[in-house]
Structure 1
């Protein structure tokens, strides 16, 4: 059996209400999210405040040279947090769009993780590029349909051989 792998690209940035609805949907589908700190510069006050608010939902931080959507030659701090009704509101409070997750104002590359840390939406904010990837199956079809129901989100499918 041949599995077809696809990327579903968010062709425009979810902002405002569509960003908030995306976060709400992520909280229904995913268990965790990550944020990345690449910079070795001192954290901004905004980042410090964000980390304090997310503190009791902190899972771990790892030095990693790769995370969903990115591979580098250096290590960055990848923060893992629980995604729930409290943390989704914190994510909405600190940003009004998916591509606002950029240092130094915030941490980078907000990415949502399903069970077993399988990436759901992969976000490379500084490149203004976000996508879902996976084999063509019922779960991914349901996720894409749910995203398509959010006004302001546009998705394009790219099939990979």
Structure 2
């Protein structure tokens, strides 16, 4: 497991997003109903809607478990779209920029239904679960500041 020590920004963020879109088949973004008017996100959501898989009301997602009775709208998208990748890279310039109230939050990626990269933007935390080949690709991104924890 890789634990990011510093928020990837600028070119490092762009390179990480490129790698996530290459390796993973889906990503998600969350809208917390308790944090903002969700209508303000309609324009952004419409831009990436062509690759929407589903939206679920959930109390748990890749990086977060809400208190009992609370839910958020969790939007799942396919990654195989260059336009959507460009939008993800241009909307914010750092990984933890995916935070409400300005943007949907907790951008996370999935490979074959399993978490590959999980972000908790407001906690400034991110972990990545790569295989050995992917580990060297992540750590090879210029500017990545991370520690690698061995699997037990």
Q: Indicate whether the TM-score tops 0.5.
A: yes
Q: How does 1:11-160 map to 2 (within 5 A)?
A: 11-40=5-34, 41-43=36-38, 45=40, 47-73=41-67, 74-84=70-80, 85-115=82-112, 117-133=113-129, 140-159=131-150
- The secondary structure found in structure 2 opposite 1:121 is strand
Residue 38 of structure 2 aligns to a residue in which SS?
coil
- Distance in 2 of aligned mates of 1:86 and 1:32: 15
Q: Which consecutive residues of structure 1, in runs of 5 or more, have no partner in the other structure?
A: 1-6, 134-138
Partner of 1:96, secondary structure, is: coil
Structural RMSD (CA): 1.5
Q: Which runs of 5+ in 2 are unaligned?
A: none
Please, what TM-score do these two structures have when normalized by structure 1?
Answer: 0.86
TM-score, with normalisation over the residues of structure 2? Answer: 0.90
Per-residue Cα deviation, 1:92-151 (whole angstroms, up to 9, x for no partner)? 111100000001110010001111x21111100111100023xxxxx6122221011111
Cα deviation, 1:63-82, whole Å, max 9, x if unaligned, reads 11111121112211110011
CA–CA separation in structure 1 for the residues paired with 2:147 and 2:131: 14
